Chain A
């Protein structure tokens, strides 16, 4: 299966982790991104993820290929949810297996950081008060916003 993939249903971490098993690997590192109940002072009730999937998969595969080359890790996978998610749900999972732990940790960090920066995925927050907003889009749309030029570099 593809090293970068989307899912409309809950991610099966045990199954994803099993894909990384390799007798030559002594280290495994994973990152889980969860839906948090607050962001920038707002109380978040639920999230909605949307992706330009054709390009996102292509860009995600490039990130994983770069991680494997740069850190020399054996296997790497990233799975991202799309659709409606509730608080506490697993939104994104990255897993890496390697001969040693150091490259596994570093590759895992690299992949999640690059995914957040570059892959065409959008997140809409629905707040407790009933409002909603697309993360990184509402603020930079404000007239005279200075952060706009950096929108694609922003990450939290």
Chain B
């Protein structure tokens, strides 16, 4: 890979990007909102959750949460892209 491409690929993962986060259940109550648009430098959902947990009084740790990106279950290590819709999923309790 030419140096310029490597530079830009790396840069795209750390440069600030605009995305949306939706909150449900306990996280919705603790964030005090259902949804927000934000700009973040977090490369993956893991860093994004840490960033949000510093802002809101979240009591749930990442170990008990799952994450969804654009309406589908995802991994904590999936790179975030501009325009992504991210949801952190608290322990479920249907039925």
Contacts and interface: CB of A to CB of B under 8 A. Distances in A.
Interface string A122-139: 111000000000111110
A152 B94 contact: no
A59 B66 CA distance: 14
Contacts of A80: 94-95
A83 B82 CA distance: 33
Given A52-B24, A55-B68, A55-B71, A141 B60 contact: yes
- Report the contact-size class of chain B (Cβ under 8 Å from the partner): 20 to 34
A137 B89 CA distance: 11
B24 A54 contact: no
B95 A137 contact: no
B90 interface: yes
Q: Which of B24, B63, B64 counts the most chain A CB atoms within 10 A?
A: B64
Interface residues of A, number: 37
Contacts of A134: 25-26, 90, 93
B91 interface: yes
Interface string A41-83: 0000000011110111011000000000000000000001000
A136 B71 contact: no
Contact of A122 (B73, B87, B90): B90
Contacts of A55: 68, 71-73, 87
Nearest to A123: B93
B60 A140 contact: yes
B87 A115 contact: no
Interface string B77-94: 000000000010111111
A112 B25 contact: no
A58 B71 CA distance: 9
Contacts of A33: 95
A92 B95 contact: yes
Interface of A: 33, 49-52, 54-56, 58-59, 80, 91-92, 112, 115-124, 134-138, 140-141, 148-149, 151-152, 154-155
Interface of B: 22, 24-26, 28, 59-61, 63-64, 66, 68, 71-73, 87, 89-95
> Which A-B residue pairs are the 4 nearest by beta carbons?
A121-B94, A151-B91, A122-B25, A141-B59
